[in-house]
Structure 1
């Protein structure tokens, strides 16, 4: 199965694997299946990332719905200052654009840089960088599976396993706030 498989197909597979058998026609529409998966999963109203713990929490009304192990930028300590510093930003942002066809298994963009980030970088005569995402593993891995699971390896993004990325994708509505803590 290709690694960049369309999300509705993934959602259908999750539902099929998890759902009890029912007496329905075998040719259900993918819209029905996708809406059933979305209805079965609670939606997060916030994401909290704790960099020091290497954890991402999907939150709803102050309670954690799910917790995921994460990998960060190659230099994880401290707030992202400029393009190419290999740091993951810290602060309050929002989830914006979704890309089911990225270089990584699914990706959701974090709206870094904000106005403060741009000002800080420009004061130093630098560009703030961008394209900070929550994403799965590379579609074309260059390292072992163990490496991606146990090392901070991104250029500043927040990486999770592919199966975790499916849950994050399905459980976060557009414009979900994300708080990235040291």
Structure 2
């Protein structure tokens, strides 16, 4: 059983209509014409755009169509109802309904707020934002066709695809996270973990309860670093939503990363994310990232390369080595590479010491199915 549960919306009441307009304006920056997962938001945005240009009848018509086509899209239903009320001059009814359905209304507002903040953070140059996001955590990669980065502050999942020039962002989706936020430490704390994980397997619709939507991708939490730190829990997945729910509040799961069903279908069927795909779940991502850490990055890459070439136990092709900055851990880098003709994977954690040098502090070897076989604390043994 995973650590996810049914939505628990925020409880503090606040006005909604203005926030929804901001929310839907923000969605315009996320819509891709080829991505069906975001077409519902695009339709809703068009309707409210008509309100802003005083084309009220057009807005009502579009809201009617979307609400009819997607009865599970509760935000669309709310927009339609409030547009009807505005047209009838019944502002009091709107306030009464907000108070009567406080929890659900607050849930919609929280999502609107998150989307608007994302738009403001991205500014006018999203390409620069995506490049900075990638550069902040990825030093070098092996042959992974895709990378996933979850920005827990913005509640967005970014998917990057490998090409001849490195990695390029291809799509991003709104996500819901743990009810108590991020930084998972123990089983049942209702938090989403921060760290670097791998997809382990796909769970199809036919094997899932309705709560988890059309598909799920399981993650290897707790990973070897989590276990070394004494973190507990299990069942952290990427998964969809029940079919009667298009999207969930930003903080509504028991620790999983939750997408709407169209987005989940895209990850599984369109992009076909494979087992071992890296999933970086990060917090406090620096929006205006400056390459001030370039010197540190070059130093740690150089030292890792030199260390691998000096080891008689490993015969590693540097091109097959991946190096990532570990989120939530100051000065920690995650390194992985295959050995024994790909039958095993070595994972290492390097950490900057007080004197400024880099030290290998923990290493584990795993079988191809991610089953740990050998672990040792190198910091305690005094090895460099």
User: Secondary structure, in 3 states, of the residue corresponding to 1:116?
Assistant: helix
Q: Aligned ranges for residues 71-90 of structure 1 at < 5 Å? A: 71-77=176-182, 79-90=183-194
- Please point out which of 139, 143, 158 is paired with 2:257: 158
Runs of 4 or more consecutive aligned structure 1 residues displaced over 6 Å after TM superposition: none
Equivalent residue, structure 1, for 2:208: 102
State the alpha-carbon separation in 1 of the partners of residues 202 and 170 from structure 2. 21
Task: Output the TM-score relative to the length of structure 2.
Answer: 0.32
Partner residue of 1:114? Answer: 223
State the distance in 2 between where 1:149 and 1:73 align.
11
Cα deviation, 1:46-86, whole Å, max 9, x if unaligned, reads 10000000000110132111100000010113x11010011
Alpha-carbon distance between aligned partners in 1 of 2:217 and 2:173, rounded to the nearest angstrom:
15
Q: Is the 8 A contact 1:46 1:176 kept in 2?
A: yes
Give the 5 Å matches for 1:39-50.
45-50=146-151
| Mapped partners of 2:248, 2:226: distance in 1 | 29
CA deviations on 1:140-177 (whole Å, 9 max, x unpaired) are x6xxx37x433421110000000100001121122111
Of structures 1 and 2, the one with the larger relative CO (CA 8 A, separation 6+) is 1
Contact 2:155/2:250 (<8 A) preserved: no
Q: What is the number of equivalent residue pairs in this alignment?
A: 130
Counterpart in 2 of 1:52?
153
Q: Distance in 2 between matches of 1:117 and 1:181?
A: 15
TM-score by length of 1: 0.65
Comparing both structures, which one devotes a greater share of its residues to helix? 2
Q: Indicate if the aligned counterparts of 1:136 and 1:165 stay in contact, CA closer than 8 A.
A: yes
